[in-house]
């Protein structure tokens, strides 16, 4: 890929330039990152090793945990390094790589939440055909389509940004190479880039959001009018409640950042909002799914009490009939 840039590297402004505040933020975000790795890693281990969790719901949950680990790894380690150095620089190629993986993993996670909402809709509203509709091949296709769509969506933004000429200031007003601050530094016209950001990214975010809303509309209608068992309703609402909390934690800040117009002193606000879905949400996701899900809690307890030589021993296919 050819680019006509004269800028060889960028300087990331970071969250703050106050040394006293950086000394407080470094251990805080280091702790958050370790919790992300341990919490989501535990979810992946449980989903892989426990046969009773070899179902579509936990297959997608394992994918979500993987995305959370990778997504936070794109930005948090670089942020931590910035707290320890006076000048935080990143090469042009490194900047484009970070931009690509941030949008790749972020958009994949948004799409995956829509897929998970559809999975809950089929499980609750059409339970007799659930194992047929959400069979192994369909789940693999949905997961592959999710990751592939996210990859090509990010590739579009990366290619379009890398082709812009950067010949002026190289100070990125963010703690990582986010696309909006980068476009402000470009010397050429960014009209096409902004149009793609506003239209394509909005579609990527809104389409799964609409699927989620429709799925839960049908789920709530089904539970209120066709399910008469109080226990059955509580179990369904508990499962769906966990997913809805995760959806709210991700969608609200993403829509706030990419669909509201940027006016005034927006840079600091956007950084704070970005921290929510890149560092805070990945911490809360495993807590939400473990605290509200008895099957996951029991599986975690079983793994902790298991002998080390049998930790990664699995039985049967990943998907089991229930």
Burial 96-127 (b: 16+ CB within 10 A, else e): bebbbbbbbbbbbbbbbbbbbbbbbbbbbbee
pLDDT on residue 199 = 84
- Cα→Cα distances 251→39, 221, 242, 289, Å: 21, 23, 14, 17
pTM of the complete model: 0.86
- Going residue by residue through the chain, which has 322 residues, state the pLDDT in tens, using 9 for 90 and above: 444 547 788 999 888 888 888 889 999 999 999 999 999 998 998 888 888 888 998 999 999 999 999 999 999 999 998 888 878 889 999 999 999 999 999 999 999 999 999 999 999 889 899 999 999 999 999 999 999 999 999 999 999 999 988 887 888 888 899 898 899 888 888 889 888 888 887 788 888 989 999 998 898 888 888 777 777 677 777 767 777 888 888 887 777 776 655 544 446 777 888 888 888 889 988 888 776 677 777 777 777 776 555 544 544 455 654 4
pLDDT on residue 93 = 92
Contact 32, 76 (CB under 8 A): yes
pLDDT on residue 321 = 46
Contact 299, 52 (CB under 8 A): yes
Interior CA angle at 190 toward 188 and 194, to 5°?
A: 175
**Cβ count within 10 A of residue 158:** 22
Q: How many helices (H) and strands (E) does the chain have?
A: 11, 3
DSSP code at position 316 = S
DSSP code at position 126 = -
């Amino acid at each position: 890929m050819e680019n006509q840039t004269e800028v060889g590297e960028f300087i990331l402004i970071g969250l703050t330039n106050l040394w006293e505040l950086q000394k407080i933020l470094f251990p805080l975000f280091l702790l958050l990152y370790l919790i992300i790795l341990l919490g989501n890693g535990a979810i992946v281990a449980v989903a892989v090793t426990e046969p009773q969790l070899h179902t579509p719901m936990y297959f997608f949950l394992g994918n979500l945990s993987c995305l959370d680990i990778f997504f936070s790894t794109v930005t948090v380690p670089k942020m931590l390094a910035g707290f320890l150095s006076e000048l935080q620089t990143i090469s042009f190629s490194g900047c484009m790589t970070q931009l690509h993986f941030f949008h790749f993993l972020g958009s994949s996670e948004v799409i995956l939440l829509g897929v998970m909402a559809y999975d809950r809709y089929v499980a609750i509203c059409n339970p007799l055909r659930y194992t047929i509709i959400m069979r192994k091949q369909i789940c693999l296709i949905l997961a592959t389509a999710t990751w592939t769509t996210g990859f090509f969506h990010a590739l579009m933004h990366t290619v379009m940004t890398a082709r812009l000429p950067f010949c002026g200031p190289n100070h990125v007003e963010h703690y990582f190479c986010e696309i909006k601050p980068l476009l402000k530094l470009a010397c050429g016209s960014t009209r096409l880039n902004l149009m793609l950001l506003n239209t394509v990214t909005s579609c990527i975010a809104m389409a799964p959001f609409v699927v989620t809303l429709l799925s839960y509309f049908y789920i709530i209608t089904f539970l209120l009018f066709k399910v008469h068992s109080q226990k059955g309703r509580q179990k369904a609402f508990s499962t769906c409640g966990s997913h809805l909390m995760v959806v709210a934690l991700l969608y609200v800040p993403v829509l706030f950042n990419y669909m509201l117009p940027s006016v005034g002193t927006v840079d600091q606000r956007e950084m704070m909002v970005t921290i929510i879905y890149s560092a805070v949400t990945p911490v809360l996701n495993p807590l939400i799914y473990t605290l509200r899900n008895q099957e996951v809690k029991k599986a975690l307890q079983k793994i902790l009490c298991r002998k080390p030589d049998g930790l990664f021993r699995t039985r049967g296919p990943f998907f089991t009939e229930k």
